[in-house]
């Protein structure tokens, strides 16, 4: 039986995907990524590159001032945001938001906003479900923000074909339909895009396996499980919309991988919901 490729098979998916090439990061994003990875880069230099783009600047300030970060006062400069959030967090947030902008589809603004709202909520809740290091939590947040990005690639490249898969009033596209029509599902194409945009494996691999976290590489299956559980909860709560109105099928191994008790999860949901509801407004813009 032929096995579906995972994010680590980068390049293979593009060759079997017969719609079009995956989009590349804009030049400014590429510059920023090169700067932040270079050892000699300093905060002010990075801030300068971000400030060259007014939309990118507005995005950074909106995100850093959103209730998720609980800043005691309004942060007004990009340089301060970079200092507070850390270079990696800012880089990943900007690249994620740019990915959404690159995939903007005229006439589909509502779909984009709904998906962003859904995804931001999943990222936030998944981050809170993670018990690991700060780095692991940050990777979880970004992987959560991007987990369903593959749906946008289908919509952008084959709008008619993908819309056709929506089952009338039910507004849902199954992964089986995606695989049948495109040769892969939104997890795989999303993971491939993340690798192409230079996201590391702890972010790309969970995107590729967010519906079946036990299939992810062992080092990344905890992040995938956190996103999987958060996705189901956010679907259940009806925050945003991912293009699928049903609560997803549950991977029974996810609880064991996550090692979070039902009582803990209940408390985390309660605490996260307060912020998710408060932040609905800041969700609505990318
Ligand atoms: Fe998904
Ligand atoms: Fe989702």
Angle, in degrees to the nearest 10, between helices 175-182 and 186-196 = 70
Helix, strand, coil percentages for the chain (3-state, nearest 5): 65, 0, 30
pLDDT score of 218: 95
- Cα–Cα separations (whole angstroms), residue 168 to 148, 156, 236, 243, 244: 21, 20, 21, 12, 12
Q: 210: CA distance to ligand 1 center in Å?
A: 6
Q: Provide the 8-state DSSP code for 259.
A: T
**The token pair that represents 84 in the structure block:** 């507070």
Rg (CA), the chain: 18
Total Cβ atoms within 10 A of residue 110: 9
Are the C-beta atoms of residues 214 and 221 closer than 8 Å to each other?
yes
**Most confident by average pLDDT, 27-36, 41-50, 195-204, 240-249:** 195-204
Is residue 23 predicted with pLDDT exceeding 80?
no
pLDDT score of 5: 41
What is the average pLDDT value for the chain, to the nearest integer?
A: 81
pLDDT score of 182: 83
Instruction: Find the farthest-apart pair of alpha carbons in the chain and give their distance in angstroms, rounded.
Output: 57
Is residue 208 predicted with pLDDT exceeding 80?
yes
- Cα–Cα separations (whole angstroms), residue 229 to 28, 130, 186, 211: 35, 11, 18, 9
Ligand nearest to the CA of 236: 2
CA distance 141 to 273: 16
pLDDT score of 249: 79
Give tens-digit pLDDT for 215-273.
Answer: 999 999 999 999 999 999 998 888 887 777 666 778 888 888 988 888 888 888 888 88
pLDDT score of 220: 96
pLDDT score of 283: 54
Q: 31: CA distance to ligand 2 center in Å?
A: 30
More confident residue, 7 or 250: 250
Classify domain 107-286 at the CATH class level.
Answer: mainly alpha
Ligand nearest to the CA of 231: 2
Of 26-35, 49-58, 74-83, the range with the lowest mean pLDDT is: 26-35
Instruction: Name 3's bridge partners.
Output: none
Which residues, at least 6 apart from 127, have a Cβ–Cβ distance to it below 8 Å?
A: 137, 138, 140, 141, 144, 226
Of 12-16, 22-26, 281-285, the range with the lowest mean pLDDT is: 12-16
**The token pair that represents 38 in the structure block:** 């270079």
Q: 171: CA distance to ligand 1 center in Å?
A: 14
Q: 49: CA distance to ligand 1 center in Å?
A: 33
Domains of the chain by residue range: 24-102, 107-286
Ligand nearest to the CA of 241: 2
Which residues, at least 6 apart from 37, have a Cβ–Cβ distance to it below 8 Å?
A: none
Give tens-digit pLDDT for 141-186.
Answer: 999 999 999 988 888 888 777 777 766 555 667 888 888 888 889 9
CA distance 162 to 158: 6
Q: 134: CA distance to ligand 1 center in Å?
A: 24
Q: 222: CA distance to ligand 1 center in Å?
A: 16
């Amino acid at each position: 039986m032929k096995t579906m490729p995972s994010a680590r098979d980068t390049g293979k998916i593009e060759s079997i995907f017969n719609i079009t090439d995956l989009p590349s990061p804009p030049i400014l994003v590429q510059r920023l990524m090169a700067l932040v990875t270079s050892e000699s880069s300093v905060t002010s230099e990075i801030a300068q590159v971000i400030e060259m783009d007014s939309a990118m600047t507005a995005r950074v300030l909106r995100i850093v001032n959103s209730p998720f970060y609980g800043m005691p006062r309004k942060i007004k400069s990009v340089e301060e945001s970079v200092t507070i959030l850390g270079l990696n967090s800012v880089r990943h947030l900007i690249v994620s938001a740019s990915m959404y902008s690159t995939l903007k589809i005229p006439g589909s603004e509502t779909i984009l906003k709904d998906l962003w709202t859904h995804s931001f909520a999943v990222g936030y809740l998944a981050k809170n479900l993670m018990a690991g290091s700060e780095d692991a939590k940050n990777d979880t947040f970004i992987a959560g923000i991007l987990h369903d990005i593959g749906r946008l690639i289908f919509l952008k490249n084959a709008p008619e074909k993908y819309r056709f898969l929506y089952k009338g009033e039910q507004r849902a596209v199954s992964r089986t339909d995606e695989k049948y029509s495109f040769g892969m599902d939104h997890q795989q194409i999303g993971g491939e895009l993340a690798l192409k945009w230079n996201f590391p494996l702890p972010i790309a691999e969970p995107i590729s396996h967010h519906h079946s976290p036990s299939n992810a590489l062992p080092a990344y299956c905890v992040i995938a499980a956190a996103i999987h559980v958060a996705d189901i909860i956010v679907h259940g709560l009806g925050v945003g919309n991912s293009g699928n109105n049903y609560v997803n099928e549950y991977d029974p191994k996810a609880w064991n991988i996550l090692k979070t008790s039902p009582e803990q999860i209940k408390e985390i949901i309660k605490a996260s919901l307060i912020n998710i509801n408060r932040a609905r407004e800041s969700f609505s813009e990318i």
